[in-house]
Structure 1
């Protein structure tokens, strides 16, 4: 999810506990754990800092942090573009999810005729929240199975 610049600036300020205008690789790890749920190794956090650390001080100023965050958002968007396009092909009803009927229609277009009951059963296997439809995250799991 792409965050706005003002949201990123607020996040930077909250990470900059001593208000010196800089955050360390350790503080970046805390940020990634809190915002993305990712626990990255210290070495990876240090490499991320180094990748945008223009002045070589081993710390990120606000501008460097914004550059890193926007770069990571762009990479995330690129990584999910293919799956999102595929999801959109199956999600034909504008509901933001794949229903048994929309799955049946798309499979039919692909030459794989299935009944609604069969499509319901296919969805059920990957429907983690039990709502009878597939969200994008559930669809990604189904496609990787």
Structure 2
């Protein structure tokens, strides 16, 4: 794969994500760091899935995933996985307490992990933009609809 086509802002987010996945902070992602990183994002990968991820991502076969391989993997996923599937997986990461809804506090906490700060009012306003049923939170369908509208 060649050069990625992500914006500078996207690359900054991916760098933060990469750094989070790099548990021992050695500048590369090792196989044993993948499982905990995916679990922290709301997934529950099997050992087989972790091995498959590593095989697909480690394109130079050196046993680790560097930042370039990481962004190439994101680009491949973006190209090959249906957008709704990606948004459903993203919802799980935002739904910190696992109640199948994203509150303004969960939105704020998730974004803070990636360097974005929101006031309580801003978080509530963002939730309100997609909150169709008026409960002050986003369910998965509202989350998907809201993100697709802003794309």
TM-score scaled by structure 1?
0.49
- Larger radius of gyration between Structure 1 and Structure 2: 1
TM-score, with structure 2 as normaliser: 0.48
